[in-house]
Protein backbone atom coordinates (compact mmCIF):
# COMPACT_ATOMS: atom_id res chain seq x y z
CA UNK A 1 0.00 0.00 0.00
CA UNK A 2 1.38 3.41 -0.99
CA UNK A 3 1.19 6.16 1.58
CA UNK A 4 -0.39 9.45 0.57
CA UNK A 5 2.32 12.09 0.16
CA UNK A 6 2.79 14.69 2.84
CA UNK A 7 0.74 17.79 1.90
CA UNK A 8 3.64 20.04 3.02
CA UNK A 9 5.77 18.51 0.25
CA UNK A 10 3.77 19.10 -2.97
CA UNK A 11 6.02 17.10 -5.30
CA UNK A 12 7.72 13.97 -4.01
CA UNK A 13 9.83 11.64 -6.14
CA UNK A 14 8.87 7.98 -5.85
CA UNK A 15 11.07 6.53 -8.59
CA UNK A 16 12.92 7.91 -11.58
CA UNK A 17 10.30 9.37 -13.91
CA UNK A 18 7.45 9.19 -11.35
CA UNK A 19 6.19 12.00 -9.11
CA UNK A 20 3.22 12.63 -6.81
CA UNK A 21 1.67 16.10 -6.88
CA UNK A 22 -0.58 17.23 -4.03
CA UNK A 23 -2.26 20.64 -3.94
CA UNK A 24 -5.56 22.02 -2.66
CA UNK A 25 -5.43 25.35 -4.51
CA UNK A 26 -6.07 25.24 -8.31
CA UNK A 27 -3.31 27.76 -9.06
CA UNK A 28 -0.80 25.88 -6.91
CA UNK A 29 -1.92 22.62 -8.50
CA UNK A 30 -1.26 23.88 -12.02
CA UNK A 31 2.15 25.25 -11.01
CA UNK A 32 3.13 21.97 -9.32
CA UNK A 33 1.91 19.88 -12.27
CA UNK A 34 3.90 22.07 -14.69
CA UNK A 35 7.00 21.65 -12.53
CA UNK A 36 6.51 17.87 -12.27
CA UNK A 37 6.02 17.50 -16.05
CA UNK A 38 9.27 19.40 -16.68
CA UNK A 39 11.13 17.11 -14.25
CA UNK A 40 9.65 13.94 -15.76
CA UNK A 41 10.25 15.17 -19.32
CA UNK A 42 14.01 14.67 -18.78
CA UNK A 43 13.44 11.00 -17.91
CA UNK A 44 10.91 10.54 -20.72
CA UNK A 45 13.40 11.83 -23.31
CA UNK A 46 16.24 9.60 -22.10
CA UNK A 47 16.53 5.88 -22.74
CA UNK A 48 13.30 4.50 -24.23
CA UNK A 49 12.01 7.97 -25.20
CA UNK A 50 8.48 7.62 -23.90
CA UNK A 51 5.59 10.00 -23.27
CA UNK A 52 4.22 11.51 -20.07
CA UNK A 53 1.10 10.32 -18.25
CA UNK A 54 -0.68 12.62 -15.78
CA UNK A 55 -3.28 10.75 -13.71
CA UNK A 56 -5.78 12.29 -11.31
CA UNK A 57 -6.07 10.02 -8.24
CA UNK A 58 -8.31 12.20 -6.05
CA UNK A 59 -9.46 15.80 -5.74
CA UNK A 60 -5.97 16.98 -4.82
CA UNK A 61 -3.63 14.06 -5.68
CA UNK A 62 -2.09 13.53 -9.12
CA UNK A 63 0.74 11.37 -10.43
CA UNK A 64 3.06 12.36 -13.25
CA UNK A 65 5.13 9.62 -14.85
CA UNK A 66 7.18 8.69 -17.89
CA UNK A 67 5.16 5.94 -19.58
CA UNK A 68 6.06 3.58 -22.43
CA UNK A 69 2.29 3.37 -23.09
CA UNK A 70 2.28 7.02 -24.21
CA UNK A 71 4.00 7.95 -27.49
CA UNK A 72 7.16 10.04 -27.21
CA UNK A 73 6.41 13.77 -27.36
CA UNK A 74 2.86 13.27 -26.04
CA UNK A 75 1.43 14.18 -22.63
CA UNK A 76 -1.73 12.20 -21.81
CA UNK A 77 -4.11 13.11 -18.99
CA UNK A 78 -6.32 10.46 -17.35
CA UNK A 79 -8.91 10.67 -14.60
CA UNK A 80 -8.35 7.63 -12.34
CA UNK A 81 -10.28 9.02 -9.38
CA UNK A 82 -12.83 6.39 -8.37
CA UNK A 83 -15.76 8.39 -7.07
CA UNK A 84 -18.60 6.69 -5.22
CA UNK A 85 -21.77 6.19 -7.24
CA UNK A 86 -24.32 8.93 -6.75
CA UNK A 87 -28.04 8.44 -6.39
CA UNK A 88 -30.16 10.95 -8.27
CA UNK A 89 -31.79 13.59 -6.09
CA UNK A 90 -35.47 13.18 -5.46
CA UNK A 91 -37.90 16.01 -5.89
CA UNK A 92 -39.94 17.11 -2.89
CA UNK A 93 -43.24 15.28 -2.86
CA UNK A 94 -42.07 12.24 -4.88
CA UNK A 95 -42.66 9.96 -1.91
CA UNK A 96 -46.19 11.32 -1.38
CA UNK A 97 -47.16 10.65 -5.00
CA UNK A 98 -46.41 6.92 -4.68
CA dist., res. 2 & res. 49, Å (int): 27
Residue range 1-48, pLDDT digits in tens = 333 444 334 444 566 789 999 988 999 999 999 999 999 998 888 878
CA dist., res. 43 & res. 25, Å (int): 27
Half-sphere exposure of 36 (CA within 13 A, CB side): 31
Instruction: Check residue 22 and give its pLDDT.
Output: 93
- At 96, the pLDDT band (50, 70, 90 cuts) reads low
The pTM of this model reads 0.70
Amino acid sequence: MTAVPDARMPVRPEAPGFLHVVAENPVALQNELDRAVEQVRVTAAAGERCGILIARRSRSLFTVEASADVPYGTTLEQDRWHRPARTPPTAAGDEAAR
